[in-house]
Amino acid sequence: MGSKAVKQIMIGVGIALLASFIFLLIYATILSFTEIPESTIATVIITITGISILVGSMISSRKISKNGIVNGALVGLIYILIIYLISSLLNGNFAINLQSIIMIAVSVICGIIGGIIGVNKR
């Protein structure tokens, strides 16, 4: 894997993190000012994560133009690793539970799908 690929993967991760931050900020604002139940939080977070990784891996793989599956999976894995480390440091809890496993799976699958789309999009 060349330096161009590594750079594009990190750009994809950055885009995914930025998109997640923006979407979560919007959701938090909506949650604060409406009567949407808090029970929607887990589902919305998983959805926002998946969409953000999909977009980030599409953009990074489009620039690399090959190995979309691998590049997309790497975007998803690096993204979720960063999120896991940040949330674990903030919570003081490094445990892996069912929700963590679901998030890892969603991240990798969305990364792979985004990578495939990005490579094949002209």
Q: How far apart are CA 54 and CA 75, in angstroms?
A: 9
CB-based burial label for 43 (10 Å; 0-12, 13-18, 19+)? exposed
Q: How far apart are CA 115 and CA 57, in angstroms?
A: 5
Q: How far apart are CA 122 and CA 5, in angstroms?
A: 18
Mind listing the pLDDT tens digit for each residue in 69-89? 999 999 999 999 999 999 889
Count of structural domains, the chain: 1
Q: How far apart are CA 72 and CA 51, in angstroms?
A: 13
Q: Is the pTM of this model over 0.85?
A: yes
Q: How far apart are CA 13 and CA 78, in angstroms?
A: 7
Taking the mean position of all CA atoms in its chain, how far away is CA 106? 8
Mind listing the pLDDT tens digit for each residue in 55-64? 999 999 988 8
**Using N-to-C axis directions, what is the helix angle for 3-33 and 68-91, rounded to 10°?**
50
Amino acid at 6: V
Structural domain span for residue 73: 3-120
Query: In the numeric block, which tokens belong to residue 48?
Result: 């926002």
pLDDT of residue 75: 96
Q: How far apart are CA 68 and CA 89, in angstroms?
A: 31
| 60 compared with 4, residue with greater pLDDT | 60
Is pLDDT above 70 for 122? Answer: no
Mind listing the pLDDT tens digit for each residue in 90-113? 988 888 889 889 899 999 999 999
pLDDT of residue 3: 84
Mind listing the pLDDT tens digit for each residue in 5-40? 899 999 999 999 999 999 999 999 999 999 999 899
